[in-house]
Chain A
Amino acid sequence: MINPLAKLVPGLLEGKPEKKPTRDGFGNGTVEAGKENPNVVVLSADLGDSTRAAWFQKEFPDRYVEVGVAEQNLATVAAGMANEGKIPFIASYAAFSPGRNWEQIRTTIALNNMPVKVCGMHAGIQTGPDGATHQMLEDIALMRAMPNMMVMVPGDAEEGKKCAVAAARLNHPVYIRYGRASEPVFTTPETPFEIGKALNLWESKNPKVAIFTTGSIAYQALSAAKTLAEEGIDVVVTHFHTVKPIDREAIITAAKDIGKIITLEEHQTMGGFGSAVAEVVSEEYPAQVIRMGIQDEFGQSGEADELMEYYKLTAPHIVAKVKSVAGV
């Protein structure tokens, strides 16, 4: 059953959930952070509308900086502004930032330890018809390996807002990954949110498998959990909005108590969230970890839901994987 302490949207799995892109959370979150702290600024690389940076621009035109189609400039101008006490959020598509400007982020933001918040939009396969060039599937791996850098992957627009607000309060670099497609909003303002702390979304008495998720794929896991429950198969679904630092305790507990873990992410299975989980499990309490995600290949054009189906990341595929892992 849905964990009542998670305070998810009531009746979530019965009706049709409201859908919003997680990037809306960036727009709302930066506006809220901007009200809270006058040093918050937003920099955009000619993608203000689609990244939702324009929402901040509308509220705070004097604190919005257009840098042009120049992602290296985006990162480095922000680093310079942070030098002077600003809290810059930089917004572009994840394929370009941190895709193109990774070295600038490494040297001028992470090594410099500047409180720049790198916000990569249109990450994941659900970027859809734009195709492989724009479907960033390696950003978690890129950013996770960088010292000083925190990595957050919100599950929905509501959590995306919380991530932005929380990041603005931190005096160090943060990467936040957002998506393009409209996806179910399953959390509420009351849903607990603590950086570095995973949240059980679904619990059951005698779980055979722990499903670990990051990003919006959490909703697919919840749907799968419901189907499995109807067939008498118990699982837990644990959502990690923070990939770094990762909640080691939650991982170790599942490894000990349940013994089988499936990880879900809209990202390459190499180097991403699943790898982060496997690292902890192999060092602390060896157990089986099955990583679902993109298996070392590029994406392609298609509608978001078609692609999720093609790459076997929808609820029915999760159900099938749980059954095979659980041996039922």
Chain B
Amino acid sequence: MALTDETLQALEDKAREIRITVLRMLNAAKSGHTSGPLGMADIFTALYFHSAKHDSKNPDWAARDRIVLSNGHITPIRYATMAHAGYFPIEECLTLRKLGSRLQGHPEREKLPGLESTSGPLGSGLSQAAGMAYALRMDKNNARVFCLTSDGEQQEGNTWEGAMFAGKYRLYNLIQIMDRNNIQIEGNTEDIMPLEPLADKYRAFNWHVIEIDGHNMRDIIDAIDEAKAVREKPTLILARTIPGKGVKDIEYDYKWHGKPPSDEELVRFIEQVEATKNV
């Protein structure tokens, strides 16, 4: 599919709408994570509105691409994107983290159709995604598995067990998209436990690595297309992102990892997201 300027513009507009939904739901929840969801808005939009094969009216469709979220704490962006993609009413987003809601603070597969897995404890998603990719290949199912990970969870041993497994079995149907935003709860990743050189590490584990600007819609889509074309190994799309992207006041600030906007901040933050349209 040719990637026209109109298509890109429409995706960028959609990402803006989704960011605003994320801010509203976090404000209503009065707790939750803000930086990560905003930073991954462009990638989630690209997946659900362009690159991944899925059907919101048939979430168990056997041929769907599996979208696995490993770092469950950024689930507001997944919920918001799914709602905009028609999985459930957008108003339901405001039930996030509330008693009885299908939108648990960390995503639970059994609660909401369209989630592939339960996650929150870090470092387990890549292995699960690898297990799915392995089983799909056994069954000659051509669906792909997109595994969204954070950079912080690369500090977990389980991640590297999964990376080794995927490399050994040449799981070409597995595409990891890593949110390389350089922050974790208590500071910058390179201060807390350095991760670099991440691309080289994955290459050494027999992965194909593509490094992109995680906010450039064309880059994101091109990288996914390239990953789909690789047939001999799994691919890592190392997406350099800005935590809090779209809200000027909180971009790059790790202190916004784990808190929601107040009522006053909500109004200001939404204005800032809307202002990005004219940049």
Contacts and interface: CB of A to CB of B under 8 A. Distances in A.
A306 interface: no
A55 B186 CA distance: 48
A62 B169 CA distance: 13
* Interface of A: prevailing SS: helix
Contacts of A68: 161, 164-165, 168
A103 B130 CA distance: 18
B5 interface: no
Interface residues of B, number: 33
A80 interface: yes
Contacts of B139: 84-85
B127 A73 contact: yes
A86 interface: yes
A70 B161 contact: yes
Contacts of B123: 72
A67 B135 CA distance: 14
A79 B165 CA distance: 14
Given A67-B165, A103-B121, A79 B110 contact: no
Interface in A55-77: 62-63, 65, 67-68, 70, 72-73, 76-77
A108 B124 contact: yes
A107 B127 contact: no
Interface residues of A, number: 27
Contacts of A112: 109-110, 117-118
Interface in A24-42: 41
A91 B136 CA distance: 22
Contact of B118 (A67, A82, A108): A108
Contact of B119 (A73, A86, A107): A107
Contact of A113 (B66, B110, B127): B110
A77 B131 contact: yes
B161 A107 contact: no
A72 B118 CA distance: 16
Given A107-B118, A107-B119, A108-B124, A81 B132 contact: yes
B121 A80 contact: no
Contacts of A86: 135, 138
Given A80-B131, A81-B131, A73 B158 contact: yes
Residue of B110, B139, B157, B161 with most partner-chain A CB within 10 A: B161
B117 A77 contact: no
Contacts of A78: 131
Interface in B126-146: 127-136, 138-139, 141
A79 B117 contact: yes
A51 interface: no
B32 interface: no
Contact of B135 (A72, A84, A103): A84
B105 interface: no
B108 interface: yes
Contact of B134 (A77, A104, A113): A77
A50 interface: no
Contacts of B117: 79-80, 83, 108, 112
Nearest to A111: B118
Interface string B147-171: 0000000000110011011001000
B258 interface: no
Report the 3 A-B pairs with minimum CB-CB distance, sorted nearest first. A80-B131, A76-B127, A73-B161
Interface of A: 41, 62-63, 65, 67-68, 70, 72-73, 76-86, 103-104, 107-108, 111-113
Given A80-B135, A108-B118, 11 more contacts: A72-B123, A72-B158, A73-B162, A76-B162, A77-B130, A77-B134, A108-B117, A111-B118, A112-B110, A113-B109, A113-B110
